[in-house]
Amino acid sequence: MATTEEQLILTANPSFLDLAVSELQEIGTILAQQSLADDVLLLTLAESFWEVAEPWRLAPPIFPHHICPVQSRVALRAQTNTDLAILQQTLASELLDLLDPTLPLSVQSRILTTLPYKPFDINRTLSTYIHQQLGVPIDVRAPHQVLSVVCADWQRHTENKAQTTAFLGVSPTVYNLSDWAGGMRRFAREEGQISRAEFKLLEALEYFHLALPARGVALDLGASPGGWTRVLRQHDQYVTAVDPGELDPRIGKDRGVRHKRMTAEEYLANDPDRFDLIVNDMRMDARDSARLMVAYVQQLYRSGRVLMTLKLPEENRRPILEHALQILQEAYRITGARQLFHNRSEITILLEPLAG
């Protein structure tokens, strides 16, 4: 059934869902809010999806991972063949005309309740139907438009019992904040991987479109055990890894890595080299980490960049974050800030030094 309300589905880290909602309230008016999962909200707005999505396309928010419009919703029966037929019929009658036959498409499904089928089954059924009807090219890795399908238990305000419901919507990928369903960017675990923290750096490089210079020089602060150093080496960087702790032996043997067994403060006091990139994933107060990076600005080439995480506590997160960003702005321009899918109680910041 086509919806008459203006609704969208917002996904964020459960620990930061309140801050994601606050960011939306800065540009829109929330009339109703219902939880579909720990990290997923169904929001009814006074504005259209596009009136919210366009400002965020131009200036992406920090905390929301993903948004998608709700243009249709339909009750499901928890029977595989029946439900797939219901979804295909809903697509045919209400959403097919919204698709551009010339643009690559991905069907992105999420199931937030117990059903006898998987997102793959929905994706395959609907993408096959769309391709047959319109000839739309299917591209799950680089789509220009997305059909979002979210299946969840949902209770209308006028009803006493939740009903398993599918929420569907079509949108250009650039309006969803992420190319991936729910913003869940996953990477395959590689042979030789040192730590899961590598995924965080991989996602940051991709999200910020950060192209590293060929045979560049990078500084990894708080490098142990060496996951970020490994990723930087894969990107053709010569790395100075600073940490009192040990590096994984595979990194320690790499001639493109220089290990300084000392703290970041001690290394700075030794008049270090200059770098194309400084990365910092150290566990320290966000404000102290910001002050440290201000001190390190002289160690960056003018064209250099800083990629760092800011660790945030459970309480008073917003004022602490704002204070840390204010400190960083003494020496840097903040070119990106994002609570990435692979971040935990932190956000990732991209910085460039101020001219001067």
CB atoms within 10 A of CB 289: 26
Catalytic residues, by residue number, are 311
Tokens of 327: 């400190």
CA-closest candidate to residue 19, choices 50, 54, 65, 57 = 65
Measured distance CA(163)–CA(76) in Å, rounded:
8
